[in-house]
Amino acid sequence: MEQLRDLVFELDCEISNIGNTLMDLEDAKVFLSNLEVSMSDAVHSGEEMVYFHNHHREVRILFQLLRQALTDLNKSHNNADILQKTLFNEVVQKKRRSVTAHTQNEIERTMQHNRKAFVETFSREPENDDEVLIWVTSILEKCKKKAV
């Protein structure tokens, strides 16, 4: 249970990191939009060369921001994916083990019941479990034939 709790907290942290990176990308989108307007204004006024150095610096800043944001986003996504798979396996495998144990108990109880019925019918112990299985199968086959 403690491991499950830790996994959930780690996954929550990675999802928060992804959310923060998405906010950075949204800011970059606004920054790029403003840069595009500024560059278009410079082109329309014939002052591209006057604003070139300023625009070039802004493009470098934007490139670095996008590169770092994508690196962070990929890292957080990979970590979240690993945590999600671990969490899934922890929850689903535990449930499967529980169901498997329950199913195995049911099979054992049914086999004990069938063995007891065999002894009552033939007044002897079966040679092995296969003998009981063959006997039960023959009874089921007879029931199917009667049903048809």
Gap between the Cα atoms of 99 and 42, Å rounded: 70
Average pLDDT, integer, range 28-34: 93
* Residues 97-109 pLDDT 10s: 666 667 777 888 8
Q: What pLDDT was estimated at residue 57? A: 93
Mean per-residue pLDDT over the chain, rounded: 87
- Residue 111 predicted with pLDDT over 80: yes
Distance set, CA 126 to CA 47, 131, 133 (Å): 101, 6, 10
Q: Is 37 helix (H, G, I), strand (E, B) or coil?
A: helix
Contact between residue 28 and residue 66 where contact means Cβ atoms under 8 Å apart: yes
pTM score, whole prediction: 0.55
Whether 91 contacts 26, CB under 8 Å: no
